[in-house]
Structure 1
Amino acid sequence: MTYRIREIATRIVDLPIRREHRIGVSTMRRQSSVIVQVFTEDGPTGLGEGVVPGGGPAWGGESVDSIKVTIDRHLAPALIGVPLTGANEAAALMRRVSTGNHFAKAAVEMALWDIAGKAAGLPVHELLGGRRRESVDVLWSVGANVEDPAGELAEFAGAGHRSVKFMMGGRSPRADVERVRTALHELPTGLTVVVDASGRWDEPAARRLLPVLAEAGVDIAEQLVPAWNLDAMARLTGLTRVWTMADEAVRSASDALRVALAHSADIIALKVPKLGGIAAARDVAAVTRAAGLRCYAGGTMETSIGTSAAVQLFSTLPELAGCDLIGPLMLADDVVTRPLEVRDGALTVPQGAGLGVELDEDKIRDYVRE
């Protein structure tokens, strides 16, 4: 299939969330996203989303503002009017005009996968080789600012979630650990427990406190130390029974290879926006699995647009160490006509053509940033 793009439209929306959510030292009070529409000449329109946690540059280096500018001024002019055979060719053109800017590129690329699926009358996961599961289990993430983490986590465990996650990094490492230990004493057994310091700890603290977390019942420790410190990550990997996970340390397939060669993690977190799109995330998954490591289905609190793009890919992978696509749970509203839902702790993979979601213009008008 060859098509031409007529227009790429971008709008920033500011969506309410169910409660404040602290990640490291940043507190999210809303979630902002760039909603992308790619209009083709005489063909389908594709939907995409540019999203980073909280909408600002603190986590990934890009913000919704920079994503919109990058698309409007650089990516769109490189693509409009060019005969394209699909998302792969478009991704190559975007790389020529922009180094990095993974979140912006991912937003456009997922819209092109949406177009391809709609043109073929198939969900995106069929274009990726077909799903291996009808749904993906999703954990519940408790922010570092929640006063009663045990109570909140028990509520979600009772609703069918089999995995829980503690965000850390907003206080001293020892205070983080005591908070986790206290909460785990009150939670039911049998849960998979993840902690995430977002790279805020140093190695001495991590070496002292990781055994304490292991004894408390933690199963996975995500990015305890800064992303650049692969040597420290390697020394922590295998130190206890806790699996270590690399997130911020992996932004490309090359990064995944470096982590694998250095034995710096047991698990690699895949995030479609962080890695630059569905195809790039699939490449990282291939490197991860070839190295004998586990894949983790990461999220950035996406709307149903970005959530669908991610779960389309994740449903095709043979095994996942966990999934935190919490957007459908955390967002108090959405921008599509039929938002995705998590029921009994599981997110069902959409079956409609493309991403399987449709934009709700009334919702866009309610939340668009003027």
Structure 2
Amino acid sequence: MKITDLAITPIAFADPPLLNATGVHEPLALRTVVQLHVADGVVGLGEGSGELVVLERLARVRPALVGQSVFDTSAIEAIVFAELGNDVPPIQKRSVFSIIEVACLDAQGKLLGLPVVDLLGGAVRQTVTYSGYLFYKWAGHPGQAADEWGEALDPAGLVAQAARMIDLHGFGSLKLKGGVFPPDQEIAAVRALAEAFPGIPLRIDPNGAWSVATSQYVAAELAGVLEYLEDPTLTTPAMAQVAAAASMPLATNMCVVSPETVPEAIRLGAVQIVLSDHHYWGGLRHTRELGALCATFGLGLSMHSNSHLGISLAAMTHVAAATPNLAYACDTHYPWNSGDDVITVPFEFADGALRVPAGPGLGVELDEAKLFRLHRQYVASGRTTRADTAYLRQVDPAYDPSLPRF
């Protein structure tokens, strides 16, 4: 079946004021939805970054996709790489291809009457577990009323946030986005979570905001408390120094981000768990390959997320279900953003997990009216890029995002 067109729609949807190592989320998050049209009327869906450069690159490859077989994703990947040329780094080419590949797989599944998980080799699990994603946050965006989650700037606020996450979605593990406050404050927060929710696995991710010495200090202070410590410091050699002293595994989605970055991490023993992300690794099939690579070298495997909607969550669930050694609960931002989803039936977690959509394809349908509304919101916003640092500087002009911060 031949591809006849690729419709590219940027959207903007509501996002709470979630704090991180480089600033705070703006009131609107940006995303791109693609609709891959096939000759017999089938449309495959894909979702990815809403950055202007990604939109431009999708538009750049769009004409070359017309006439290609929707089943020939290897040829389509080669076309994407060729059309983007040598001026675009491989990892950025993969992020463009990943959006298109998911749409191809969705269309393939619809044509064959099969769920995407079957196109990836079949399900090794029927449900995929996810982790509650906790953030330090303001009560509301400046000038706006407090949102339904309220403020979380101290241990008590985070415990209340976690309790609500668990009550609403049943999550059985929790991850805190750190790197916001001095390490002792965040250590106190993790300990408060451990006391409030005994037996629930805990993680913290400061996004490289700590020096090696600080990372080693936090690892020692939280020995026996954390399930794993994610990206405490920048660079693979620095991670290796922390890993050598830490009692818990180190996880990453920052220093192992592509096949080219795997050998150094293994040679140095820098990480024990890789957080996959099909948006960065070049789609669902390459994510399955990462799973096999991790199994070969005895590395654990989980999944990273960023602000996303239901098309991405469906794709994440299909590939997680098809990856045998994905043994840790996956990250997801979905509880923060699901109110603006563009699918007709938003996902609902049961006991912190999702059943694999039955299909065909991704098993989700696009709500055209919602897509149109969020596209108009994108146009009206004038936004083209994510700017966490600039947004925080509206409140704190002296804010310095340089890493490491502590």
TM > 0.5: yes
Give 1:168 shift: 0.7
Q: Which residue is equivalent to 1:22?
A: 19
Q: Secondary structure at the match of 2:340?
A: coil
Provide the residue aligned with 1:86 in structure 2: 72
Out of 123, 140, 143, the residue aligned to residue 115 of structure 2 is: 123
**How far apart in 2 are the matches of 1:198 and 1:119?**
41
Counterpart in the other structure of 2:383? none
State the one-letter code of the partner of 1:296: S
Matching residue's letter, 1:286: A
The equivalent residue for 1:144 is 136
Hey, what's the Cα distance between the residues in 2 that align with 1:103 and 1:22? 25
Structure 2 CA distance, aligned partners of 1:361 and 1:48? 14
Asked if 1:266 is matched to 2:272, the reply is: yes
Residue among 26, 38, 41 paired with 1:40: 38
Identity level (%): 25
- Aligned with residue 190 of structure 2, among 168, 172, 180: 180
Please provide the CA RMSD for this pair. Answer: 1.8
Aligned amino acid, residue 241 of structure 1: S
2:274 partner letter:
I
Higher strand residue share? 1
Letter in 1 for 2:221: V
- TM-superposed deviation, 1:43: 4.7
Q: What is the rounded CA distance, in whole Å, between the counterparts of 1:311 and 1:75 in structure 2?
A: 27
Which of 203, 214, 220 aligns to 2:228? It is: 220
* 1:285 counterpart residue number: 291
* Higher mean displacement: 238-247 or 217-226: 238-247
Q: Which moved more, 1:322-331 or 1:140-149?
A: 322-331
Matched residues in 2 for 1:171 and 1:81: separation?
53
1:215-248 deviations in Å (ceiling 9; x for gaps): 5x1221111111xx21221222252331110111
Report the equivalent of 2:53.
Answer: 66
The separation in 1 between residues aligned to 2:334 and 2:102, in whole angstroms, is 17
Which residue is equivalent to 2:385?
A: none
Aligned-residue offset at 1:83: 4.4
Structure 1 residues not aligned, in runs of 5+: 52-62
Query: In the alignment, residue 343 of structure 1 is paired with which amino acid?
Result: A
> Is 2:216 the counterpart of 1:210?
no
| 1:361 equivalent among 368, 382, 390 | 368
Give secondary structure in 1 for the equivalent of 2:202.
Answer: strand
What's the CA shift for 1:303? Answer: 1.0
Per-residue displacement from partner, 1:255-305 (whole Å, max 9, x unpaired)? 233322321111000011121211221222221111101110222232110
Distance 1:124 1:260 in 2: 31
Match of 2:18, SS state, is: strand
Number of matched pairs: 351
The whole-number CA distance in structure 2 between the counterparts of 1:142 and 1:207 is: 23
Maintained 8 Å contact 2:71/2:108 = no
Number of the residue aligned with 2:149: none
Alpha-carbon distance in 2 for matches of 1:128, 1:257 = 25
Residue aligning to 2:343:
336
Q: Runs of 5+ in structure 2 lacking a partner?
A: 138-151, 380-406
Deviations 1:92-142 (A, max 9, x none): 211222343233221111101111111111001001111111111111111
Residue 20 of structure 1: SS of its match in structure 2? coil
- Is 1:250 the counterpart of 2:256? The answer is yes
Which amino acid in 2 is paired with 1:225?
Answer: T
Contact 1:22 1:143 survives alignment (8 Å) = yes
Native 8 Å contact 2:38 2:70 kept in 1: no
The 3-state SS of whatever aligns with 1:300 is coil
Distance 1:361 1:330 in 2: 18
Residues 279 and 42 (structure 1), Cα distance of their counterparts in 2 relative to 1, 3 Å cut: same
Would you say 1:77 and 2:77 are equivalent positions? Answer: no
Does 269-278 or 150-159 show the bigger shift? Answer: 150-159
CA contact (8 A) 1:113 1:354 kept: yes
Q: 1:114 to 1:246 in 2, by over 3 A?
A: same
| Conservation of the 8 A alpha-carbon contact between 2:216 and 2:246 | no
Shift of 1:212: 0.6
Q: Give the TM-score taking structure 1 as reference length.
A: 0.89
